[in-house]
Amino acid sequence: MDRYSEIYELERELMRKERQIEYLQMELRKCYQTIEELKQGMKPVGTVVDVRDNRAYVKFSGQLYEVSIPPEYLGKITPNMDVILSPNRGTIIGFIENLRDGTAWSYKIEKEVRVYYDDVVGLEYELNELRKVVEWILNPLSRERRENLLLDKRLLEEGGSVLLYGPPGTGKTYMAKAIAGTCTLYGCKTSFIKVDGYEVVSKWLGESARNIKEIFRLARDVAPSILFIDEVDAIGRSRVDVTTDAGRDVQGMLNQLLIELGEGFETNRNIAVIFATNFPSVIDPALLDRVKKILYVPPPKTRETVKRLFDFYTSKIVLDASLKDGKVLKEEVFEKIWSIIKRRRL
């Protein structure tokens, strides 16, 4: 028995070490990416004023430079484009994609979401609470009835804005997609736009705030829509020291987000904004005040909930007949799975 306990503890320690290694590898990749971005950020960036053959006139720090255009960039450099210059400012070594054009984010739009309420298992309460805040914004008839009931339209301000928080992988994105899919299924075609907070953050000063502005403009253009901003802590973190360029950029980004949310019901009347984070404690209080509802999305904890999840997903795949009893897992099969889950302390 003592030997079995020792093996069991070693297995648990091994699993913990494996998780630590995965986390450290992820952090290492982030560090490498940050280093590359910092290296890129140290290069001078100017704006093209004019292009003539293989030469361009670029404005940088108030001065005009005549620089050469490499063969691979001929025909791609145009006036008003931001370009990266070599350290001696003699040639163009790259250019910055203009994210100020909303079409740069258009690939984020999902117009035919195929996830529905029946696909959400174990989160019935959370889904119902989310529907109360979001669904009426997207449905013209429900929205009109609510507007007619209220004499003061200011009571509708910030309607449809929700913050979902909880551990990763608990179904936050899935619930939001289920609302878009079900609304579309019943005739109210709803677009779904998912943006990660870290995608919005730019190494170019002022570009992050412009990105937020363009994303909201895109959501309004394709309304009714659900704008799902994951990892909102990347752009909605509590304000920091603004004496540095980085601090000013973070504050400008958050201010732009608050402005977009505060545009009013008439501007955002067809948009539901859903934020998601794993770290709600770092979100700026001003952003929390603008959010209509804050909802915790927990992981599955009970045996019954986990069993329902396994039965739901295994019903969609082909398994050996010895593992299933009709459309559900056999009890003895699930019991082995459940014992593993308990050991890992889900």
Over residues 6-24, the pLDDT tens digits come to 777 777 778 878 877 887 8
Instruction: Indicate which CATH number applies to the domain containing 85.
Output: 2.30.30.140
> Where in the sequence is the domain holding 7, given as residue range(s)?
1-42
Q: Let me know whether 224 and 272 are in one domain.
A: yes
Average pLDDT value for residue range 40-48: 68
Domain count, the chain: 4
| Predicted confidence (pLDDT) per residue in 168-191, tens digit | 989 999 999 999 999 999 888 999
Burial 293-311 (b: 16+ CB within 10 A, else e): bebebeebeeeeebbeebb
Rounded to the nearest 5°, which phi and psi values hold at 121?
Answer: -115, 130
Burial 191-200 (b: 16+ CB within 10 A, else e): bbbbbbbebb
| Predicted confidence (pLDDT) per residue in 87-142, tens digit | 777 888 887 765 444 456 777 888 889 999 999 998 999 999 999 889 888 877 77
Q: E strands of 21-116, at which residues?
A: 45-52, 55-60, 63-68, 82-85, 92-95, 109-110
**Whats the size of the chain, residue-wise?**
346
Q: Let me know whether 251 and 323 are in one domain.
A: no
Q: Let me know whether 25 and 109 are in one domain.
A: no
Under the banding of pLDDT at 50, 70 and 90, the label for residue 317 is: confident
Comparing 213-217, 252-256, 261-265, the range with the smallest average pLDDT is: 261-265
Q: Let me know whether 3 and 149 are in one domain.
A: no
| Predicted confidence (pLDDT) per residue in 325-336, tens digit | 777 788 888 888
Q: Let me know whether 127 and 4 are in one domain.
A: no
From 63, 78, 95, the end of a domain falls on 95
- 200/5: higher pLDDT: 200
Q: Let me know whether 78 and 131 are in one domain.
A: no
- Given this model, what pLDDT does residue 129 score? 94
Q: Let me know whether 38 and 173 are in one domain.
A: no
Count the Cβ atoms, other than its own, within 10 Å of residue 210.
18
From 95, 124, 159, the end of a domain falls on 95
Average pLDDT value for residue range 245-253: 69
Q: Let me know whether 269 and 182 are in one domain.
A: yes
Instruction: Indicate which CATH number applies to the domain containing 219.
Output: 3.40.50.300
Sign of the CA dihedral 337, 342, 343, 346? positive
- Given this model, what pLDDT does residue 165 score? 95
Q: Let me know whether 107 and 150 are in one domain.
A: yes
As a dihedral over the C-alpha atoms of residue 16, residue 19, residue 20, residue 24, rounded to 10 degrees, the angle is 170
Helices marked H in the chain — which ranges? 2-41, 124-138, 140-149, 172-185, 197-200, 207-221, 245-261, 285-290, 303-314, 331-343
Q: Let me know whether 127 and 214 are in one domain.
A: yes
Tell me the pLDDT of the chain averaged across its residues. 81
Q: Let me know whether 247 and 280 are in one domain.
A: yes
162 membership: H or E segment, kind and range = strand 161-165
The model's pTM is 0.68
Q: Let me know whether 152 and 225 are in one domain.
A: yes
